[in-house]
Amino acid sequence: MAAGVIAALALGGCAGAPREDAWPAPERGASSEVVGYLDGEPVLLEEVARYLRSRDPEAFSRNLDAFLLARLARAEGALLGVKVPAAALRQATARRIAEWEARVRAASRQQAGEEIAPELWLERVSGMSMARFREEVALHTEVELLEDRLIRFEQQSGSSVEVSLLVVEGGGEAEGIVARLRAGEPFAALAKEISLHESAREGGRIPDRLLAEDFSERVVREALFAATVRAGDTLGPFAAPSAKGEFQQVYRVEAVHAAAAGPYASIEEAIARELGNRPVSVAEYERWRRRILLRHGFALAPPPRESSGGSR
């Protein structure tokens, strides 16, 4: 069985799946905003949103996700005192603009045989001025830098663990594996040999600090975050049922971190240094994304059906 199939068994990111609630349309408000007129009749924002959502739910969901996360990041940043230093924002924005300009020049040389000034290309393609484009890049960059700081602050302001993970199919083999590990067999070597989890190639090591909310199963959370847990402990096996069958998880605790005391300002410089040395990984971001959406109670409703009678 491919290791990637097992990746979602552990570190599922939420304690429970949100309900697929209905998507009620209010009688008044933003949904009733008029975005244009067709034959003298108003076209409402709600109608446009429902059309886009029914025609391309994946693209709609991605854009909605980005909007929600930006909104929640700003709200939590304001609440927790987490902010992006102006110098860091200027530097990151300038770097992204420079990278974009280099790509435009390279593409124009390849496609047109001559270099086109990025500001001219931008005007031709989108009708946007360079000044406006810089503002847009700065806005998106600020949100991403804020999210990075929120992710690392959340990891440090709450109790967290670092673990290695080994996953096997069925239940008969797991007890023997635990016995071998407790007898001194190296966890990393055994994980590389038999684990079905995608971390096997790294000896089972999960590289980030993990919070209790990052573990789907209550029994796993309670075991890993018990007061008696110490680095070096082997825990499990834990049952991990999935649509692909029954699996067993075995954990090795690599480190235990107590919650950091104090506000964000007290560890701001340390977090900035850590981000410079180790940027936020995709896995860290995805776990934070699930935590924050669950924490604020967001549930994605199923896409509405198209009202048209057929397809082209």
What is the arithmetic mean of pLDDT over 71-99? 96
Copy the structure tokens of residue 77. 């940043």
What is the arithmetic mean of pLDDT over 168-172? 78
Is 90's pLDDT higher than 90? yes
Residues 146 and 62 in one domain: yes
Rounded CA separation 309/306 (Å): 8
Lowest mean pLDDT of 35-39, 73-77, 240-244, name the range. 240-244
Q: Is the peptide bond before 304 cis (omega within 30 degrees of 0)?
A: no
What is the arithmetic mean of pLDDT over 292-312? 66
Residue 131 located in a structural domain: yes
Residue 213 located in a structural domain: yes
Rounded CA separation 7/153 (Å): 25
Residue 13 located in a structural domain: no
Residue 16 located in a structural domain: no
The answer to whether the beta carbons of residues 149 and 155 sit under 8 Å apart is no
What is the separation of C-alpha 132 from the centre of its chain, rounded to a whole number of angstroms? 28
Average pLDDT value over all residues in the chain = 84
Residues 290 and 249 in one domain: no
What angle (nearest 5°) sits at the alpha carbon of residue 299, between those of residues 295 and 302? 165
pLDDT of residue 114: 85
| Residue predicted with more confidence, 26 or 294 | 294
Residue 49 located in a structural domain: no
Q: 101-120 pLDDT, tens per residue?
A: 999 999 988 887 888 899 99
pLDDT of residue 304: 61
pLDDT of residue 271: 93
What is the arithmetic mean of pLDDT over 60-88? 93
Share of the chain above pLDDT 70, in %: 85
| Residue predicted with more confidence, 192 or 30 | 192
Lowest mean pLDDT of 17-26, 52-61, 245-254, 291-300, name the range. 17-26
Residue 15 located in a structural domain: no
Residues 274 and 236 in one domain: no
Is 261's pLDDT higher than 80? no
Range of the domain at 229: 159-258
Q: 297-306 pLDDT, tens per residue?
A: 887 776 666 4
Residues 79 and 217 in one domain: no
Residues 140 and 189 in one domain: no
Radius of gyration of the chain (CA): 24
Residue 89 located in a structural domain: yes
Task: Tell whether the torsion through CA atoms of 144, 146, 149 and 154 is positive or negative.
Answer: negative
Residues 201 and 250 in one domain: yes
Q: Of the ranges 44-53, 107-116, 223-232, which is most confident?
A: 223-232
| Residue 206: CATH number of its domain | 3.10.50.40
Is 287's pLDDT higher than 80? yes
pLDDT of residue 223: 95
pLDDT of residue 243: 60
pLDDT of residue 75: 95
User: Helix, strand, or coil here: 197?
Assistant: coil
Residues 226 and 172 in one domain: yes
Is 78's pLDDT higher than 90? yes
Q: Which residue has the tokens 């503002």?
A: 135
Is 148's pLDDT higher than 90? yes
Q: 190-207 pLDDT, tens per residue?
A: 999 999 999 999 999 998
Is 7's pLDDT higher than 80? no
> Number of folded domains in the chain?
2
Residue 42 located in a structural domain: no
Residues 133 and 208 in one domain: no
Provide the edge-to-edge strand list for the sheet that holds 160-169: 160-169, 245-257, 234-242
Rounded CA separation 6/22 (Å): 31
Residues 113 and 138 in one domain: yes
Is 234's pLDDT higher than 90? yes
Which DSSP string do the residues of 223-292 spell out, in sequence order?
HHT-TT--TT-EEEEEEEEETTEEEEEEEEEEEEEPPPPS-GGGTHHHHHHHHHHSPPPHHHHHHHHHHH
The answer to whether the beta carbons of residues 8 and 242 sit under 8 Å apart is yes
Which of 228, 230, 236, 176 is closest to 204 using CA atoms?
236
pLDDT of residue 159: 93
Is 216's pLDDT higher than 90? no
pLDDT of residue 160: 94
Give the pLDDT band (50/70/90) at residue 14: very low
DSSP 67: H
Residues 144 and 83 in one domain: yes
Residues 152 and 169 in one domain: no
Residues 85 and 71 in one domain: yes
